Structure 1
Amino acid sequence: MPHRKKQDFDPIAFLANSGMGRRIVQIKANGTLFSQGSAADSVFYLQKGRAKLTVVSKAGKEATITLISAGDFVGEESVTAIAGLHMSTATAITACSALKIERAEMMRVLHAEHAFSDLFVAFLLARSMRTQADLVDQLFNSSERRLARILLLMADFGKSGEPETVIPRITQETLADMIGTTRSRVNFFMNRFRKMGFIEYNGRIHVHKSLLNVVLHDQRPGPNSMSAALLDVKQDKTKAAKKTSSAIKKT
């Protein structure tokens, strides 16, 4: 008898459907995929919707560390050599559809199917690069530029395909947590971006491509912006120093 040819594994189909050791779960907005301190026994693949990862300190202070969009894995700590606990909480920002993959099934498919392991490793590398970029952003950029970057990331600028310029509903408190500033400062910057024509902000935030100028090209968003004001102050000080120096030389 002729041998039946083994069917090629399709990672896209695997992530789109329920099966052995995996099932599709529906999470309402503000619902949790998993909680900080719970057993890390499953990996989630977000099929639809947006979510966020948060951590809470022993003192009870909460911080948002990253956003999750469709096509992202979350809970990847479940496939470490020794199963442990989730270090963060994954919460749905909008209604989400996710594939919950049990640890044993995730380990099996990673070892057995190279197409899937290639896809997963590519995601991990992209996540690592994003984490490094977030760290650099937090250390060296102003809160104004950090906010602009977060809005662009939420609108999927930089990803393949057309960006979703209308981003999910998100509170100014959450944005403030993510960029390390206060809600009043976020409100100040949002109003400025709106006046400069970078965003439309009426309940939902509509992000325009021109906001990229703030992040990529470090262009001044306008004569009344903070970056412009700081630059003008610096220029004024330089001019004043030159005038003083010239006056001293003349005397």
Structure 2
Amino acid sequence: MTEIQRKGIDQVLSAESLDKLKSIMYTKKVEKGAYLFWEGEAADKLYFVLSGRVRTTKNSDSGRNFTIYLHQQGDLFGQLDPFQDSVHSFSAEVTESGSIGIIQRKDLEVLLWQHGDLAVEFMKWMGLMHRITQTKFRDLLMFGKPGAICSLLIRLSNTYGITVDQGIYIELKINNSEMADMIGATRESVNRMLSDLKKDEVIEYQGGHLIIKNLEYLRNICQCEHCPKEICRM
């Protein structure tokens, strides 16, 4: 059993730059079910996942929540506008208890002003997050719900996949309702699509975990562009 490489902020920032960021963080213990921030609150901090897991969600006019990102250890996230004060356009819920490093906007601005190399790497991180968001919207809008579910499975494999004899084992337990929230579909339609993929022997289940048996099939359905794994992720 071989675990795939994690793709966190350390894929963009050097060890020295990451240490500088950590030097201005304060740590907060968080419990499952707690919220780091709500949609509409002031966006004046960044959050670094030291341990545990966090998901960011967007509330629609109909009252439904859509999952935008799933964050795990090593991920940096938040919404900072460099030109004006802004508010969060999404909420962040803790899905697995752990510790979060919190960076104040004013402290980050001083640090970036003092260290030009860190500022350049930080801009690369912002560009990477923008590309991840762009590719997610592309998958949702261009290839319909079948393409969206296939893209989601590929992203799960890149983020939580472990190579086993049968294929790629998704270590994160995720149910069909949660998957529906990630692609803007109903649970019933996700049930049907996953059932079809299982019949075609593209996926299977083992102890409540997904195993992807035919990754190439999924790539063909969503017209995969073979983006780097640091972009094609949750």
Indicate the TM-score class for this superposition, using the shorter chain for normalisation. Answer: 0.7 to 0.9
Change (3 A) 1:25 1:148: farther
| Percent pairwise identity | 23
Does residue 98 of the first structure (1) align with residue 89 of the second (2)? no
Q: Helix, strand or coil for the counterpart of 2:214? A: helix
Taking only aligned residues, the RMSD between alpha carbons, in angstroms, comes to 3.1
Does residue 188 of the first structure (1) align with residue 192 of the second (2)? yes
Which blocks of at least 5 consecutive residues in structure 1 are unaligned?
Answer: 1-7, 220-251
| 25, 33, 57: which one aligns with 1:30 | 33
Larger of the two Rg values belongs to structure: 1
Q: Does the CA contact (< 8 Å) of 1:152 and 1:212 recur in 2?
A: no
- The equivalent of 2:6 in structure 1 is none
Q: Does the CA contact (< 8 Å) of 2:38 and 2:91 recur in 1?
A: yes
Does residue 13 of the first structure (1) align with residue 16 of the second (2)? no
Change (3 A) 1:151 1:37: same
Mapping 1:74-93, distance limit 5 Å:
74-77=77-80, 79-93=81-95
Task: Provide the C-alpha distance between the structure 2 equivalents of 1:122 and 1:146, rounded to a whole number of angstroms.
Answer: 27
Does residue 142 of the first structure (1) align with residue 148 of the second (2)? no
Q: Does the CA contact (< 8 Å) of 1:152 and 1:207 recur in 2?
A: no
| 66, 69, 74: which one aligns with 1:66 | 69
Q: Does the CA contact (< 8 Å) of 2:79 and 2:88 recur in 1?
A: no
Mapping 1:127-206, distance limit 5 Å:
127-156=129-158, 165-202=169-206, 204-206=208-210
Supply the AA of the counterpart residue of 1:179: I
Task: Provide the C-alpha distance between the structure 2 equivalents of 1:158 and 1:29, rounded to a whole number of angstroms.
Answer: 19
Change (3 A) 1:194 1:31: farther
TM-score (norm 2): 0.73
Per the TM alignment, residue 35 of structure 1 is displaced from its structure 2 partner at its CA by 1.0
Give the number of the structure whose residues are more often helix, by fraction.
1
TM-score (norm 1): 0.69
Per the TM alignment, residue 202 of structure 1 is displaced from its structure 2 partner at its CA by 4.2
Q: Does the CA contact (< 8 Å) of 1:154 and 1:167 recur in 2?
A: no
Task: Provide the C-alpha distance between the structure 1 equivalents of 2:163 and 2:106, rounded to a whole number of angstroms.
Answer: 36
Task: Provide the C-alpha distance between the structure 1 equivalents of 2:75 and 2:49, rounded to a whole number of angstroms.
Answer: 6
Change (3 A) 1:207 1:131: same
Q: Does the CA contact (< 8 Å) of 1:9 and 1:115 recur in 2?
A: no
Supply the AA of the counterpart residue of 2:27: I
Supply the AA of the counterpart residue of 1:10: E
Change (3 A) 1:199 1:109: farther
Q: Does the CA contact (< 8 Å) of 1:199 and 1:205 recur in 2?
A: no
Change (3 A) 1:37 1:157: closer
Q: Looking at both structures, which has the greater relative contact order when contacts are Cα pairs under 8 Å and sequence separation is at least 6?
A: 2
